[in-house]
Chains A and B, each alone.
Chain A
Amino acid sequence: MKLVSPGAFAKNIVASVQEYSLLSGRAIGNLFTNPRYIADTFTQMDSIGVGSLPIVVLTGFFTGCVLALQAAVSLKEFGAINMTGKLVALSMVKELGPVLTGLMVSGRNASGMASELGSMKVTEQIDAMRALGTDPIRKLVTPRLVATVFMLFFLTIISDACGTGGGALVAVVLLRLNGPAFFHTAYMSLVGGDVVEGLVKPLFSGFIIATIGCYYGLRTTGGTQGVGKATTQAVVASSVLIILVDFLVTQLMIGIFGR
């Protein structure tokens, strides 16, 4: 393994953050100027949103199921098994729905973006695009950014609903709890701040998935091996950032809403 001096290592990190910030800034800036690639945005919405629907539904559903099972065991000790609905709903809406959906979509789409753009980079298709007078950030990054942020928002809502539904199914079928009571406690436990918190998080996660995936794709070097490396780095970086930003947003929301 090649050793790098701490100075060079620090410089590399600063340069990477600078490159990433410039890419993100330009991707956002392109939203306000022509040309806009509307058709590409819809194509990406289909690929990212509709394409991710099965894994998001399954993940959300089974997470809700497991949550209900685990919660019931602990709540039973305190004689509060009827609070299972509350725990499932709060956990899904505030935390698990947004984070797990972000992680699943990251695993599927940040990798897809990095490998697609990385392959285009190493086969000079990105250079060809620029040579043909098209800004690759405008054509490739901005539509993916808009599509991911937009679709992740709705995928999170679907995940929350499936998770709560899964929890309810387990509560009724396996735990022999009262179904309407489950939904009643779930509904009553949620306040506006919880829903806002749960719906703000996917906006950040969507931004991270698209920009990190595209960033690693566009800086790919070294042929097919480089594409594989870029893909792995994109998934790792976006997953870690999603959890980090989740923590920061949670802290911020607790500060704003007090819960």
Chain B
Amino acid sequence: MTLPTPDLQVAAQPSIEMPPGAAIVEFKDVSIGFEQNHVLKNISFRVERGETRIILGPAGGGKSTLLKLANGLLKPDSGEIWIFGKPLSGMSEREIFELRAHIGMVFQESALFDSLTVEDNVAYRLHEERVPEAEAHDRVVEALRFVELEKAITKFPPELSGGMRRRVSIARAIISKPDLILYDSPTGGLDPITSTTIIELVVKQRDVSNTTSLLITHRLQDAFTLATHRFSQSTGHMEPIPDGKLDPGTKFLVLNEGKIVFDGTTHELTHTQDPWLRAYLE
């Protein structure tokens, strides 16, 4: 595995201006429903700078909806969402599009553009920003090198395996060096070995760039791998944090039936006395 190039090693300090003390993501009493079904009810939580927030919960609990709300792809029925210290409710559609330049998103099924090559998919945002072609190509190669998929640069998404598509999706999300990355089930539907590869990339991105992220997963082992492992730049691989320690920046949010049933650290989660949570974790 090649080491990330220095260019990808951005500081944790967001490139976007934020009021002092503001969280990267803050939900305040947010509710949303579709056709009389309440999907999320009175959700409140904060994600601080540099934090990796893992969102767990049974299927249909509103996790993907929560991520789409955080990116302004959906609007809440009530409550407020603050991203980088700014309320989404007060923003025009154009302002939200500008804000999204600072947010990378990895979709559940990758959501790559079928008619574009891997290079054009990854460079999509750069092309929109009218970045010169040569510079865009260099940055695409750099991002694909990060996900170890340089050889696929000329391929089209249908030619790739599920795991490769997910890696291209990660490359597309990180190419603009976002201040926040939203991962919607990046390992969903993948075999355990490929899932570990994807989680290794998430850990690598977290430890190399210190980017704040929200990550949905259905696989508890992936969640705990994130909490118990770190990326070693010397070996170029993910390794367990020595002495059984936990990554301090990794926290959990557990949703069930549209409500938050847990919001805290890995240690608090593993030592919870809540019967439902214990049953879910076991």
Chain A residues within 8 Å of B, Cβ to Cβ:
35, 119-120, 123-125, 127-135
**Nearest-CB distance from B21 to chain A (Å)?**
27
Partner of A135 from B73, B97, B109, B114 at Cβ < 8 Å: B97
Write the nearest CB–CB distance from B71 to chain A, whole angstroms: 6
Whole-angstrom distance from the CB of B128 to the nearest CB of chain A? 6
Q: Are B109 and A131 in contact (CB under 8 A)?
A: no
From 84 to 101 in chain B, residues with beta carbon under 8 angstroms from any chain A beta carbon are: 93, 97-98, 100-101
Measured in the bound complex, the distance between the Cα atoms of B94 and A193 in whole Å is: 43
Residues A132 and B107 in contact in the complex (CB < 8 Å), given A125-B114, A127-B68? no
Give 17 A-B contacts (CB < 8 Å), ordered by A residue: A120-B113, A123-B109, A123-B111, A124-B107, A124-B108, A125-B112, A125-B114, A127-B111, A128-B111, A128-B113, A129-B113, A130-B100, A131-B71, A131-B73, A132-B128, A134-B97, A135-B97
Is the C-beta of B105 less than 8 angstroms from some C-beta in chain A? yes
Asked if A131 meets B128 with Cβ closer than 8 Å, knowing A124-B111, A125-B113, A125-B114, the reply is: no
**A132 adjacent to B125 (CB under 8 Å):** yes
Which B51-99 residues sit within 8 Å CB-CB of chain A? 68, 71, 73, 93, 97-98
A119, B71: Cα distance in complex, Å: 22
Q: When chains A and B are docked, how far (Å) is the Cα of A134 from the Cα of B128? A: 8
Which chain B residues border A133 with CB–CB below 8 Å? 97-98, 100-101, 125, 128
Report the minimal beta-carbon distance from B125 to chain A, rounded to whole angstroms.
Answer: 5
In which size bucket is the chain B interface?
A: 20 to 34
Whether B25 is near chain A, meaning CB under 8 Å from some CB there, is no
Is B124 on the interface with A (CB-CB < 8 A)?
A: yes
Q: CA separation between A35 and B130, bound complex, in Å?
A: 10
Q: Which residues of B contact A130 (CB under 8 A)?
A: 73, 97, 100
Assembled-state Cα–Cα distance A120/B100 (Å): 20
Are A135 and B128 in touch, CB under 8 angstroms? no
In the bound complex, what is the Cα–Cα distance between A151 and B154 (angstroms)? 33
B170 is an interface residue with CB less than 8 A from chain A: no
Chain A CB count within 10 A is highest, among B108, B111, B113, B125, for: B111
**How far is it, in angstroms, between the C-alpha of A129 and the C-alpha of B124 when the chains are bound?**
9
A-side contacts of B97, CB under 8 Å: 130, 133-135
0 or 1 for each of B154-174: is its CB under 8 Å from A? (1 = yes): 000000000000000000100
B100 engages A124 (CB within 8 Å): no
Q: Give me 16 other A-B pairs in contact (C-beta within 8 A), A123-B114, A125-B114 excluded.
A: A120-B113, A123-B111, A124-B107, A124-B108, A124-B111, A127-B107, A127-B111, A128-B107, A128-B111, A129-B113, A130-B73, A131-B71, A131-B100, A131-B105, A131-B107, A135-B93
Residues in chain A near residue B93, CB distance under 8 A: 135
B103 within 8 A of A: yes
In Å, the complex CA distance between A125 and B105 comes to: 12
- Chain A positions within 8 Å of B125 at CB level: 132-133
Expressed in whole angstroms, the minimum distance between the Cβ of B100 and any Cβ of chain A is: 5
* Complex Cα spacing A135 to B93, Å: 9
Chain B, 118-136, contact with A by CB distance < 8 Å: what is the 0/1 string?
0000001100100000000
> Is the beta-carbon distance between A132 and B114 smaller than 8 angstroms?
no
**A124 CA to B100 CA, complexed, in Å:** 16
Query: A133 vs B124: C-alpha distance in the bound complex, in angstroms?
Result: 10
Residues of B within 8 Å of A35, CB to CB, are 128
CB distance from B17 to the nearest CB of A (A): 18
The interface residues of chain B lying within 8 Å CB-to-CB of A119 are 114
A128 vs B169: C-alpha distance when bound (angstroms): 10
Smallest CB-CB A-B distances: 10 pairs: A128-B111, A124-B111, A131-B105, A133-B100, A133-B97, A124-B107, A133-B101, A132-B125, A125-B111, A127-B73
